[in-house]
Structure 1
Amino acid sequence: MTAEDPALTALAQGWCALSLLHGKIESHIERALQSGHGLSVREYSLLDVLSRQHDGEGGHLQMRQVADSVVLSQSATTRLVTRLEDRGLLERYLCPTDRRGIYTNVTEAGRTLLEEARPTNDKALREALEEAGARPELAPLVRVVESGTAVPA
């Protein structure tokens, strides 16, 4: 393949459009969450992921699983957990069956903040998608996101 190859150009254009859409959505949500609730997108995502844990079998996530869920490295996730723990939004405790394991739970204050921030996040997402959908190069991607289905291979 060469730089002039139409398939490569289409692939590169698709990647650029996806990257642009992601950036626009994330920055729009970031501004809304920061101004309304003092949360970053990553902090909101972490609270959301951890709030879905449960006490049943496999209900608690290991730090590696949390990192994968919020698309951060384990070290960045640990730093983020520490920041939210310092704010009283998360708490860590030892796994009762494996003393080497450490679990993280959302505190009552964290749950309250998450519930207050959820409508802001949802509204900002809708606004960002509406704005992006007006751009011809992003409209097909927006339709896929709005449909909730994966892009066919």
Structure 2
Amino acid sequence: MKAPAPTRTAPAQGWCALSLLHGRIEARIERALQTAYDLSVREFSLLDVLSKQHDGEGGHLQMKQVADAVVLSQSATTRLVTRLEERGLLSRYLCPTDRRGIYTNVSDAGLELLETARPVHDAALSEALDEAGREPHLSPLVEAVRALGAG
């Protein structure tokens, strides 16, 4: 005789659905970006976050802020920055007001790659959402993602 499956609470069911949706979206985007540009989802996200920096007050992110924005540890973010810097997509420099701080800028090549890769990213995201939206347990989450983007 089999033991009955444990019952999940509503928040646990919701979290499982959210985790499943995230995994599917990330896997779809990862395949598309890797195939077309030899670029990972994390690399794309890092380039995207850093491309929004500006020279005004508070316009440059410190590495901890960058790590938080791309949901990685500081050490993983540093390794990612190093890989992209080696590819010529980023450059690092010392903060002019605090010599302990290091800032990162996206190079012209990085901005060009980001601009070229964005339609592939967005198409893969749209495809993943369309597919997930056909599943009743994921469709409310898909609607929420689309509503957040519209607002």
TM-score normalised by the chain length of structure 1: 0.91
- Write the distance in 2 (CA, Å) between the matches of 1:90 and 1:38: 16
Per the alignment, residue 3 of structure 2 pairs with none
Match of 1:140 in 2: 140
Superposed CA offset, 1:63-94 (max 9, x none):
00000000000000000000000000000001
Unpaired runs of at least 5, structure 1:
none
Residue 60 in structure 1 maps to residue 60 in structure 2 = yes
- How far off its partner does 1:99 sit? 1.0
Displacement of 1:17 in angstroms is 0.3
Q: Secondary structure at the match of 1:148?
A: helix
Aligned to 1:85: 85
The offset of 1:58, in angstroms, is 0.1
TM-score of the pair, normalised by structure 2: 0.93
Query: Distance between the aligned counterparts of 2:109 and 2:47, measured in 1?
Result: 11
Q: Secondary structure at the match of 1:145?
A: helix
Amino acid in structure 1 at the alignment position of 2:118: R
Gaps of 5+ in 2: 1-5
Corresponding residue number in structure 2 for 1:51: 51
State the 4+ residue runs in structure 1 displaced beyond 3 angstroms: none
Task: Determine the C-alpha separation between the residues in 2 that align with 1:57 and 1:67.
Answer: 20
In structure 1, the residue matched to 2:42 is 42
The residue type equivalent to 1:109 in the other structure is A
Q: 2:32, 2:122 → 1: CA distance?
A: 10
Aligned residues: 144
